[in-house]
Structure 1
């Protein structure tokens, strides 16, 4: 075995024999003293007393000798093993004098007692010393060899019988001791190998966790850095679209915004994963009408199915389930979208069936299918079947990962069965509830037009390509908006967009400039009715803390709204815990204006 492993095993052996050091000394020399007393009573001789004194003195020396302890360095283990083996060999050699002193042909009782004592001592040694094979041999062989020789020397039949018996016992003892030593050594090797494997596994798990954390940080940073310019593009594009509303270039502006929205939706998908990992999604469980939800799915995907010359069959069932309507809709839309992408001919079916108190929702397709070895991997992030070239038309490979995360969040188990070339079936299991018609409209409405809202930290984003609202008599809007953002381009883009819709905006790059704006004499006559803050500001500041400090300092009733491109889980958790409304970059102009309408009454009445 490797050197270090061998030393660790030997260290355990040494620790084992030294753990019984005191007991073995007391037992061995106690037996020797008892033997000497019996011999002296039976046959008083001065040399018996001398032998006992020498024997006990030797035991006292051994008792006082330095011993191995747990703090001994590993490298010294071999030296301590040899030392203990030499010590027990000397003890055995000292005891080996007893047969020649006490055995005689005319004193069979004494011979019998001595034989029993020595054999018993060897039996005890076998149990205590088999971890160290040299010590076992060093203790057993001198005593037993002396006993056998002394018995055979007497020459009569009884002593020869005892000599043969002792020889057989010696061979048996050494065989059993060797087997026990091997068994103990193998078990220790296996233990240390398992510990090494566990340590390696721990290192690999730690490395995987670090890689996952680094990936999350990278995605958060990359997502934020990509969202910043995209946010500015979206704002400038929305302002341009509004300015060119009656111009012949409006179609190009609309195409630009569709491309911007498509890119924003890709980033939103990554954001959804970050939100789920951050634990900031809180399900709002309620009775859900599956028929209403299926109608929304049909409306959403009918055009896509028609473009691909596929049939989309959505079957009514009249069933109701207990779930979060928004999150369940996201699961089903991801499954349907995935099925359509990987189906070249035939179609996709969505159906629901009752099974006892459970409802099975199944999404079936006649697509390419999934090989058995890939069926577990399809729920991994960025894994796509038959898309090694990362064709963007087939998405990012995150949709099923979101489905799997949502299934755990909602406790809706998801199963997949598939045959290559024949199609795939995804099945969700949900608790069934009795029909509740009073909830039907409420459950269906959110599904018909999914969009981003100010409560984004607890709801999912979905494609938002709504046309910008027209504005009438914006001058009727009272109040101003204070925009705090450390990037000049975004301040300019946001100001142009809002001013284009008649909203008075004052911008600030940091908290100091915001304090100046709020402290001006004319602020009371024209108060700010809204603080619109970017979450990540320069010098480590964040819009949440800055906005709250401004509200406290100036006693503002103006609400705070955050704008962020953050995806870092810990930051998302903090934003959600604050309860402050959040818009995620790139901010859709229509969503922004509708949200502002909640705080600017004149704007709300002007939007049609």
Structure 2
């Protein structure tokens, strides 16, 4: 015959009970000095009555009992302190109960010895004093039920019995009044004890919930930080070889421009560009989370921005036989043109990916002090259960196989982050099988007669790329990067001094001085064999009196390091860098520091 094991105790519940008990004990000991002072005042009022009215054996008996009991409780009984262990709380509660029993027994002798017949004034005076003492006991010991009862009941029951024992009308009435009073006083004490218990339980339960919530929040923040570090490390490690591939590929494409194999080089570069786009998207998320991207809102004309979007996405729509309608509005909004362009680019790209028939429409409408800028499509739509998740990172609808042609699933996450940065609102409404509408709520701006041109980050094929003629000092600890950069820039007629360390860079600078050839741009990788490339570049410029501008090239996506680079004010390119972007940046830096004729 087997016996079922008793259920295991809940450690959390046991701890909660101990904490409540500890607070009750603490409440009583906090008032222990003042409570005992009130007790001594009570005895001081009783003493003259005893001495003046009863000059017999009762005086030494009461003195022999009260004096040692009160001295013991005042000087011998240990005092609780907050340093006492939580597990010892039951011991302290039991100690209080024993002290209360001792005091209750001592006080029970007072009515037993002093309530007599034929001395009504003394009896009524003692009754009033004992009732007052009872209220003091109930108020001071109500946090713990046992001490309260053991201290109050012996004294008051002794008073009731002593009054009733005299059997006179006055004494019986007094006994009745005292009994009613005792019931009411204990009722108040019991109720307050229960309320205190419930209050403490709720308080500690809330504290426990708050502590668990903080633990969950800390765990989520830690997981988020670990995810960010993982993405940063993975992105950096991927960008290093990707950067070399992009540079070698660009050099090969330049060399095979008029060769039959040139088409294969173009295909290679398209694949490299696609992978670079994916890495750049992850970088955008890291930069937004790090606060590196800042908004510069101003009044911009929507039609200019929408025209640029139409030029970029019209070929993509044509390849899928979709209609792309971008309606002019003549409206102006207050926003950052670069970031707003990026938001609309992501929304349009998303709409075209998930639309098989029909088309995509972009329309802007004024609504009071706002402008509703909407991207509508006739695509597959989104079920209501997924609407809340579409802004999550790497979440894609109906793409379990992670088809690369459908993107990474972070475009809408970037849109939401940019909207928060700009203070815009993103709204979405969708009907499965009918299409989706994304709405950006933008602040309306007054039309400007003369305004700055709306600078947009258009694709490289829509911009001309200047060519740099000059010498570049490259500091990179990876031989493949140095070789690829030398080939690429050499194919465009740019001389390169490629070195692996700061010491080699100083040697190269000294050699260039001897040859009389100036350095146009100093380009450093951010990670240089454990060193900070930014610090290396700044030291080279300072110690070697180098006037050439510094350019940092990095594959970092860590938010902390991105903030560090941004705070320096040094221009930075993120790997993999396209040949066109690299050449244009070098030309801009060189021309900015070139002497004016």
TM-score by length of 1: 0.90
Which residue number corresponds to residue 62 of structure 1? Answer: 73
Q: Deviations over 1:185-212 (max 9, x none)?
A: 1221221121111111111111111111
Structure 1 residue 264 displacement after superposition: 0.3
Query: Does structure 2 retain, via aligned residues, the 8 Å contact 1:347–1:366?
Result: yes
Where in structure 1 do 4 or more consecutive aligned residues deviate above 4 Å?
Answer: 42-46, 464-471
Tell me by how many angstroms 1:224 deviates: 0.7
How does 1:129-168 map onto structure 2 within 5 Å? 129-168=141-180
Cα distance in 1 for partners of 2:322, 2:254 equals: 37
CA deviation after TM superposition for structure 1 residue 338, in Å: 1.8
- 227, 241, 265: which one pairs with 1:229? 241
Partner residue of 1:491? Answer: 482
State how far apart, in whole Å, the 2-side matches of 1:232 and 1:598 are. 23
Structure 1 unaligned residues grouped into runs of 5+: 452-463
What is the aligned partner in structure 1 of residue 539 from structure 2? 549
User: Secondary structure at 1:96's aligned position in 2?
Assistant: helix
Q: State the 1:373 CA deviation.
A: 4.0
- When residues 159 and 308 of structure 1 are mapped into structure 2, their CA distance, relative to the original with a 3 A threshold, is farther
More displaced, 263-272 or 48-57?
A: 48-57
Q: 1:271 offset after TM fit, Å?
A: 0.7
Query: How far apart in 1 are the matches of 2:149 and 2:40?
Result: 19
Match of 2:293 among 275, 281, 286: 281
Structure 2 distance, partners of 1:159, 1:371, is 84
Q: Give yes or no for the alignment of 1:87 onto 2:99.
A: yes
Once the 2 structures are TM-superposed, how far is the Cα of residue 54 of structure 1 from its aligned partner? 4.6
SS of alignment partner, residue 522 of structure 2: strand
Q: Secondary structure at the match of 1:369?
A: coil
Per-residue CA shift, 1:120-147, capped at 9, x if unaligned?
2222222221211110111111111211
Aligned to 1:457: none
Q: Helix, strand or coil: the match of 1:377? A: coil
Q: Contact 2:135–2:185 (CA<8 Å) still a contact in 1? A: yes
Match of 1:393 among 401, 405, 423: 405
- Work out the CA distance in 1 between the residues paired with 2:324 and 2:378: 11
Please point out which of 320, 339, 345 is paired with 1:327: 339
Indicate if the aligned counterparts of 1:132 and 1:181 stay in contact, CA closer than 8 A: yes
Correspondences of 1:241-252 after superposition (within 5 Å): 241-252=253-264
CA distance in 1, matches of 2:23, 2:159: 32
CA distance, structure 2, for counterparts of residue 523 and residue 226 of structure 1: 39
TM-score relative to the length of structure 2: 0.92
Q: Which moved more, 1:262-271 or 1:174-183?
A: 174-183
Deviation at 1:592? Answer: 1.4
Instruction: State whether residues 404 and 414 of structure 1, in contact with CA within 8 Å, keep that contact through their aligned partners in structure 2.
Output: yes
**CA–CA distance in 1 between the matches of 2:169 and 2:401?**
93
Alignment CA distance shift 1:220-1:286 (3 Å): same
Query: What is the CA distance between 1:599 and its match in structure 2?
Result: 5.0
How much has 1:600 moved relative to structure 2? 5.5
Q: 1:412 aligns with which of 424, 432, 437?
A: 424
SS of the aligned residue for 2:427 comes to strand
* Counterpart secondary structure, 1:517: helix
Maintained 8 Å contact 2:358/2:378: yes
**Equivalent residue number for residue 37 of structure 1:** 48
Separation of aligned partners in 2, 1:202 and 1:416: 32
**1-side partners of 2:17 and 2:383: how far apart?**
47
In structure 2, what is the Cα distance between the partners aligned to 1:129 and 1:343? 76
**Shift in Å, 1:370:** 3.1
1:354-373 aligned within 5 A: 354-373=366-385
Secondary structure of the corresponding residue to residue 158 of structure 1? helix
The Cα shift of 1:179 comes to: 2.6
In structure 2, C-alpha distance between the alignment counterparts of 1:195 and 1:159, rounded to whole Å? 53
Instruction: Report the CA distance shift for 1:53/1:34 in structure 2 as closer, same or farther (over 3 A).
Output: farther
1:173 matched to which residue of 2?
A: 185
Is 1:272 aligned to 2:280, yes or no?
no
Q: Which ranges in structure 2 are unaligned for 5 or more consecutive residues?
A: 1-9
Aligned-residue offset at 1:385? 2.7
Paired position in structure 2 for 1:461: none
Q: For residue 7 of structure 1, report the CA deviation from its aligned partner.
A: 1.4
Q: For residues 212 and 71 of structure 1, what CA distance do their matches in structure 2 show? A: 38
Which residue of 14, 18, 34 maps to 1:7?
A: 18
Question: Displacement, 1:331?
Answer: 1.0
| 3-state SS, counterpart of residue 451 of structure 2 | helix
How many angstroms does 1:52 deviate by? 4.8
Query: Aligned residue for 2:500?
Result: 509
Quick one: which of 377, 380, 395 aligns to 1:383? 395
Q: Is the 8 A contact 2:540 2:546 kept in 1?
A: yes
Cα distance, 1:348 vs structure 2: 2.2
Structure 2: how far apart are the matches of 1:332 and 1:310? 18
Is the 8 Å Cα contact of residues 353 and 360 (structure 1) preserved in structure 2? Answer: yes
- Determine if contact 1:36/1:52 at 8 Å carries over to the other structure: no
Q: Which residue of 2 aligns with 1:456?
A: none
Select 2:458's aligned residue among 450, 457, 468. Answer: 450
Pick aligned residue for 2:525 from 534, 555, 569: 534
Q: Given that residues 483 and 533 in structure 1 are in contact (C-alpha distance below 8 angstroms), is that contact kept between their aligned partners in structure 2?
A: yes
Give distance in 2, aligned partners of 1:434 and 1:466.
Answer: 29
- Give the secondary-structure state (helix, strand or coil) at the position aligned to 2:520: strand
Determine if contact 1:544/1:562 at 8 Å carries over to the other structure.
yes
Structure 1 residues 506 and 169: alpha-carbon distance in aligned structure 2, compared to 1, 3 A threshold: same
1:322 partner SS: strand
Most deviating of 486-495 and 183-192: 183-192
Greater mean alpha carbon deviation, residues 323-332 or residues 55-64: 55-64
Alpha-carbon spacing, 1:107–1:421, altered in 2? closer, same or farther (3 Å): farther
Q: Distance in 1 between matches of 2:324 and 2:464?
A: 31
